[in-house]
Amino acid sequence: MLKKLLSILLATVLCFSLSSLIACDVKDDSEVDKSEVLWNGFEYFDRDVQLIRLLNEFGKVDQNSNPEYVHSGEKSLKITPLGSRVNNANPYFMIPATSTRFEEISFGDFTNVDKITCWFYNAEQTPVNVGLGFGKGALKMDDRRDIIQKTNVEYFSLNSGWNYIEYDVQPALLKMQGLNLQAVMGLMFEFDCVESHDLKDSPEIYLDDITIKYTDTPKSQEYSATVKTGTNNGNPYWVISDFENATDAYAYMYYYAYPAPVSAHPIIKSVFAGDYNVITQNGLRVLLVQKKHGGTSYGWPVIHLATEPIKAAIDAIGQDIYDNPYNYVIAYDAYNGSNYTGGWSHEFYKTGISTWQSFSTNAKTWKSYSYNIGSLMDQYETYKTNNPDTDLINWLDNPHFEFRYSRHYKDTNTAEENADRPFFIDNVRIEKIG
Amino acid sequence: MKKPKLKKILTPILAGVMLLSACSEGATGGVDYAKLSDVEFWSTYSTEKVIQNNVSMYNDIKQDAEIDVTAIRGEEEAGQIIMTAGNKPVKEYDIVLSDLSGQNNAVFSKNNIKVYHELYIEVGAAGEYYTTAGFYPDALAPFEGVKAVKETGFDKNSNQGLYVSFDVPENQPAGTYTGSVGVVIGGQTKNIPVTLNVPAVTIGKETHVASSFLNEWYFYRGELDTTEDMYDKYNKALFDYRLGCNNVTVYEEDVNYYAEKVCEYAALVECPGYNIPWFSINYSSAPYNLNGRDIVGPHAYDVDKLCLYLRVIADKGLETGVDPFKKAFIYGWDEPDLSFGTDRAAIYVKEWSYIVKQCKKIVLAELEQKSVSAEKRDLLDDIMESLEDLPHLVLSNKFLNMEIDLDEEEITYGPYFSALGGEASRDRYRIEEGNPLWWYGCTAPRSPNPTYHIDDTVLSARIESWMKADYNIQGNLYWSTCLYSEPGQAEAITYPENFYTGNAARSLSVNGEGFLFYPGKKYGVDGPIPSLRLEQIRDGLEEYEMIYSLKQIYGEVSSLTGETGSEEEIMSYIYDTLYSGTYVSTTHSTFARARDTLISLTELAQSDAKVCILDVAEGRDYTFKIFVKDGYTLKQDGVALENGKAVGGGKIYDMVLKVNEGKKLNLSVEVGGRTLGLYMNFGSASTNYGATYAVENGIIKQRANNSNTVATELVNATLVNSAAGADEKYVKLLLGEATNAIQDFVIDSDIIRAINATDDKLVVRLFNAGEPINVEFMIRRGSDQGWETKGSMTLESGINSVSFNGLSGYNWNKIGHIDGLRIRIGAKGDSARDYIYFVDMTVYKV
């Protein structure tokens, strides 16, 4: 919005300056469509292109001036993604939302943003996948390879030719991920790993006219969802996330626990189970956690469930869970989609609270896991007794939960260690057992 | 499909700006841009840095606007033109190049002339050679690229530098070429005269000193290209600058791919070196028995992987017909003393050194058993010999306390530049004679040691290579060429937004640290563009090649004649005008003279006459032992030398030069219709101050434990030195026990305070009646009373000369004047000494 206002101001000033020489045809303020602002049309190298940040051994981006691949203006962005061949990690790049050098780059305030739209040209004969999401702070910027977390990634399939993409911005979900809505870092574009170090193996894609569409009525920043309910063997449950819709899909965020591999980011996204030949127990979608094959780095991805959907489930249950916490468990179903036995763990991490549990999972098998909330509450109480000065908040009032896909390191060169390891999570819930 | 609606806001602005711009020179009375006559053109040395935003401080270095460059065949050498805008900005300028003309219709093609538009980077606080904050020239953007992005304009009251570089082909006929470079401003052209002198001196593409400059950092940020292909372009750009790279791939971990790349680089004559990688492993819980010794370190090199790499690379070399190890090195764990502390580092380094040596032995044994065809036999022998010599670099500024057995362990030390100023220190780090020695610099050491810092003189980056030749240093490592980042909080390095003109102190508050390249993408270059510093590093390496050539020819002549002699004798007099120890002390003009002298020496040696100055004996007069081949007449001051001794197809002349009579070395010889010459000034007037003067004027203050006493004991020199004259006196220095402070003495005199840029050197002679002892010598700056070390040496038994060389090259703007000399002896804790004597002190004029 700021850019638009500045643009209008500048145009008006110029118009007045030149009024004796030319007829000015700039629209007045009331005529300009304030609902959309061009974020990046890739017209100016210094401002629009040079500041792009490549991550995960991206490949290459370049300013394109071939009109065939320009949506409007004279330039667009040519994208040739590769990714890490060694670690088989997806490549992504970020277009920053703000700049200390170019004042006109000031798109970090997403308070009133409705959508982001852009145009892709897929120069390939086959579809190409792209994910759009947001940058969420640097983990370690002084590493030789930059790491910026990405979040709220939504995936699209680009057909040959021009594709119009609309990315629906949901402030509540961004906020849930810990993003400061008034200082968003930038927009992320993720592609599939090509598993080559040679650009001739890369798909050729063009991007133009990234536009922000604002709304006069800001979307709510507060999490609100109708908590689904159901029964399991006669036990009622309240769904935290079954990954069936966008809200559920963003109900998690992930990061790497130390030691962080620099580029071995796994694929973590809500997917149609059928695409992976996985039969769900209910619904169509599941959360895929896939460490792809290869990679010499070790470390493990942590999938952290946001507080809001857990709290919503607790609130939906009501006072009974406070009065009878031993009657409730937090539970979920997990499916090892690989051909190998794999490690899995979860914990309710908090300083001083040790709830870490690890499991071995059998290949191609669903299994349910649970943790008794009463036991969890006991641990909190014990900790608070031993640490009277602690400011630890009761878990039910500030719930949190993490999954860790622990078997993610490579210590041999066996086929097992090198294999793709898809893992699926579904039906994260609070279930009444008593 | 077009949807102009999306960019509709920008369109009227752009149109307005263009229209405004179009009207600016017309009747609208817009910006009043400079005409050609409003711009001052001048030239200066290519080694000088002219700050963009300071137009008033250069009157004393301005030279006529012309380019007069001497460049030998096979090197690149530049001149520098500065355009100074007055009260009007320059909207844009253009360059017109044309071929240069030589004698006999010889032509120097304009295609071999590179014009760079200097870009300026902000130095907020300058504290090395230069002390003025401002925008310093550093990135060199190809003019055509700058023109393409319409950035040739520059502001009023500012300087804009043009770096004009001549890339002389190896087959360019020697001679003088003239022409001009046209600079067009406002439709008018300023023709800047160009004279290019090409002596009959040639260096090849090969560089005979190793280096490793790391491209691994942030090249992709600037180029928006993370590929191995772009990394390869950065590596090959280093080769263009006669520098070696580190790893040959940046991300790829496939040993076969790595080996292929190694062999590709090995086949490039211009590639000076590359790394063979090692991989860390923890053997502490499962020791690895390697040739009888258990490897137990938690941070060891992976034995199997190192053997694998050596084996696969050797095989690939055999397959492709190159020796992959000849130019290779193993860059070991960087600065282990900082990672582990000196005690543990010593343990680890010893183990790593053992692993490297034993892995080499394992693979050598395998190669020994290899059955190869007859035509591959020599290659296999070469590969095995190179593998045996493959150095394992340990860069550590701390000398580690460990016993090394070079038969079983492989180590090549690389301390800071500053650690190798003295012969004794070099011997220590070398471990034993013949073992290689590298060195390095980063944030430290600081000027006057060699640095690549932007607020240091580029002469320092250039002279580092002269020092390598002088001190027999085999390699140099620099940790990062492309730190495309901006200063962050604490030590954090943040993503850059300004790759060319932002804050120069990107790393640890040191200007220019971590980058010598700039991204080329913006300026139409597929790869990096250079910096002024990188150009000068290459210039230094080109001069190294001249010295290397001298070394070869002098060696051949020595063998031919049976005379012992080397280029070191005559070169030492040139080195003395450039630095002392590792302290650079020279001026742009002094350096230019040194370079001219080196070129003359090389031209004489490379000529058919093979004139070589094999020895220089210094007494009251100078005596030179000069070889010239039969059939050529060598002249001094135009007079043919006589009574030469016939040896090895030529004659050796013993020529005496009476310096005190104002004589200069002024040799000439006719070769192939051209007159080659050498002019060297071995000193003008000198003033000697003896022991009696020193005592009568109380100029020596001897010290130990913070107590100063004036030296007053005058002794007959013959009491301690049987070779002394009968009436000669020495001053006995009484140096008390060094309990709290190192023994030293200070020379505090108006004679010292009167020294200035018109002086050449000051020599203090000391007599040591005891065992050899290390000394360090310093000056006290008048400007801030701080002490500045100028060198160190071993005081041998007998007469020693402590020489403060290159006085004219001191940074007098920074020093002010010299307020005193200080000579520190031995170390803290030493017992009292009374066996060191002051002999005399002599000040030589330029």
Evaluate if residue A101 carries a pLDDT over 90.
no
Partner-chain residue, chosen from A43, A54, A142, that has the shortest CB–CB distance to B220: A54
In this structure, of A36-45, B653-662, B666-675, the range with the lowest mean pLDDT score is: B653-662
Mean pLDDT (whole number) for B712-736: 92
Q: pLDDT tens for residues A180-210?
A: 888 888 999 999 989 888 999 999 999 999 9
Contact at 8 Å (CB) between B734 and B702? yes
Q: Say if residues A265 and A190 touch (Cβ distance below 8 Å).
A: no
Q: Do residues A26 and A12 lie in contact, with contact meaning Cβ atoms separated by under 8 Å?
A: yes
Q: Which H helix or E strand runs over A262?
A: none
pLDDT in tens, B413-454: 999 999 998 888 899 999 999 999 999 999 999 998 999 999
* pTM beyond 0.95, yes or no: no
Please determine, for residue B603, whether its predicted confidence score (pLDDT) is greater than 80.
yes
Q: How far is A253 from chain B (nearest CA, A)?
A: 24
Q: How confident is the model at residue A136 (pLDDT cuts 50, 70, 90)?
A: confident
A11-20, A410-419, B524-533: range with highest mean pLDDT: B524-533
Give the nearest partner residue to B253 out of A60, A82, A296, using CB atoms: A296
Asked if B409 contacts B348 with a C-beta cutoff of 8 angstroms, the reply is no
Radius of gyration of chain B, Cα coordinates, nearest whole angstrom: 29
Q: How far apart are CA B840 and CA B766, in angstroms?
A: 7
Sequence-distant (≥ 6) Cβ neighbours of residue A74 within 8 angstroms: A43, A65, A67
Contact partners, residue A264, CB within 8 Å, separation at least 6 = A84, A87, A88, A89, A291, A295, A297, A299, A408
Looking at the partner chain, which of A45, A53, A58 has a beta carbon nearest the beta carbon of B522?
A: A45
* pLDDT 10s digits, A364-383: 889 898 989 999 888 888 88
Closest listed residue to residue B391, CA positions, set B582, B209, B215: B209
How many helices (DSSP H) and strands (DSSP E) are in chain A? 7, 23
Q: Is pLDDT of A62 > 90?
A: yes
pLDDT of A139 over the 90 cut: no
Please indicate if any CB of chain B lies within 8 Å of the CB of A316: no
Instruction: Judge: B12–A49 Cβ closer than 8 Å, yes or no.
Output: no
Q: What's the pLDDT score for residue B485?
A: 85
What value does the mean pLDDT of chain A take? Answer: 79
- The number of CA neighbours under 13 Å toward the Cβ of A129 is 14
**Is A29 a residue whose pLDDT tops 90?**
no
Contacts of B688 by beta carbon, 8 Å cutoff, 6+ apart: B840, B841, B842
Region A332-351 average pLDDT = 75
Give the model's confidence band at B563: pLDDT under 50 very low, under 70 low, under 90 confident, else very high: confident
pLDDT at B651: 97
Cα→Cα distances B537→B121, B429, B449, B460, B513, Å? 19, 24, 15, 9, 15
Are B522 and A51 within 8 A, CB to CB?
no
pLDDT higher at B151 or A344: B151
Q: Calculate the alpha carbon distances from A304 to A133, A203, A431 in Å.
A: 17, 33, 19
Within 10 A of B86 (CB to CB), how many other CB atoms are there? 15
* DSSP character at residue B333: S
Mean per-residue pLDDT for B165-190? 97
Rounded to the nearest angstrom, the minimum Cα separation between B438 and chain A is 25
Tokens of B843: 């000040």
- Single-letter amino acid code for the residue at B841: M
Q: Is the pLDDT of residue B31 over 50?
A: yes
| A269, amino acid identity | K
Which chain B residue has its CA at the smallest distance from A211's CA? Answer: B6
Above 70 in pLDDT, residue A399?
A: yes
Counting residues of chain B whose pLDDT is more than 70, the rounded percentage is: 95
Backbone angles phi, psi at A372, to 5 degrees: -75, 130
* A59–B12 C-beta distance less than 8 A: no
- Calpha distance B189→B788 (Å, rounded): 49
Are B7 and A41 a contacting pair at CB < 8 A? yes
Contact A71 B2 (CB under 8 A): yes
A40 touches chain B (CB under 8 A): no
Q: How many CB pairs under 8 A join A and B?
A: 132
Q: Is the pLDDT of residue B841 over 70?
A: yes
Q: Are A47 and A106 in contact (CB under 8 A)?
A: no
User: Smallest Cα–Cα separation from B793: which of B417, B425, B416, B414?
Assistant: B425
Distance CA B397, CA B338 (A): 9
Tell me which chain B residue has its CA closest to the CA of residue A29. Answer: B9
Lowest-confidence segment of A424-428, B465-469, B495-499, B586-590 by average pLDDT? B495-499
pLDDT in tens, B777-800: 999 988 888 888 888 888 989 999
Q: Is the previous residue joined to B445 through a cis bond, with omega within 30 degrees of 0?
A: yes
Instruction: Give yes or no for residue B28 having a pLDDT over 70.
Output: no
Average pLDDT rounded to a whole number, residues B652-671: 91
% of chain A beyond a pLDDT of 90: 37
Q: How confident is the model at residue A248 (pLDDT cuts 50, 70, 90)?
A: low
Sign of the four-CA dihedral A317, A318, A323, A325: positive
C-alpha to C-alpha distance for B751 and B700, rounded to whole angstroms: 12
- Distance (Å) from the alpha carbon of A350 to chain B's nearest alpha carbon: 28
Of A126-140, B132-146, B476-490, the one with minimum mean pLDDT is: A126-140
**Tens digits of per-residue pLDDT, B282-330?**
999 899 999 999 999 999 999 999 999 999 999 999 999 999 999 999 9
| pLDDT tens profile B189-206 | 999 999 999 999 999 999
In A, which residues are within 8 Å of B499 by CB distance? Answer: 50
Q: Is the pLDDT of residue A351 over 80?
A: no
pLDDT for res B3: 42
pLDDT value of position A149: 67
CA B716, B694, B704 angle in degrees (round to 5)?
90
Residue among A154, A186, A205, A161 nearest A51 (CA): A186
Helices B255-266 & B303-320 angle (0-180, nearest 10): 50
What phi, psi does A256 have (nearest 5°)?
Answer: -100, 130
Which one is predicted more confidently, B285 or B641? B641
A32 has a pLDDT exceeding 80: no
**Which of residues B511 and B27 earns the better pLDDT score?**
B511
What type of residue is B696?
E
pLDDT at B17 over 50: no
**A52–chain B Cβ distance below 8 A for any pair:** yes
| Interface contact flag, B226 A25, Cβ < 8 Å | no
Tell me the average pLDDT across B232-256.
94
Residue A6 reports pLDDT greater than 70? no
A residues 333-372 near B, CB within 8 Å?
Answer: none
Q: Which of A204-218, B483-497, B737-751 has the highest mean pLDDT?
A: A204-218
Residue A33: predicted pLDDT? 56
pLDDT of residue A138: 53
Task: Tell me whether the omega of the peptide bond preceding residue A259 falls within 30 degrees of 0, making it cis.
Answer: yes
Q: How many angstroms separate the CA atoms of B543 and B567, rounded? A: 14
pLDDT-based confidence at A20, cuts 50/70/90?
very low
The reported pLDDT for the residue numbered A299 is 53
Task: Write down the pLDDT at residue B8.
Answer: 43
B518 vs A217, which has greater pLDDT? B518
Per-residue DSSP letters for A375-405?
A: HHHHHHHHHHHH-TT--PPPTTTS--EEEE-
Determine the residue among A12, A42, A46 to mutate to test chain B binding: the one whose Cβ has the most chain B Cβ atoms within 10 Å. Answer: A46
Which alpha helices (DSSP H) does A179-282 contain, by range? 246-249
Least trusted range by pLDDT, from A409-413, A425-429, B339-343, B482-486 = A409-413
pLDDT above 90 covers a percentage of chain B that reads 77
> Could you report the per-residue pLDDT of B72-115, keeping only the tens digit for each?
999 999 999 999 999 999 999 999 999 999 999 999 999 999 99
B259 phi-psi bin (left φ>0, alpha ψ -120 to 50, beta other): alpha
Residue-wise pLDDT for B47-63, tens only, equals 999 999 999 999 989 99
- Whether chain B has a CB inside 8 Å of the CB on A143: the answer is no
The residue-averaged pLDDT of A389-399 equals: 84
User: Taking CA atoms, what residue in B is nearest to A16?
Assistant: B16
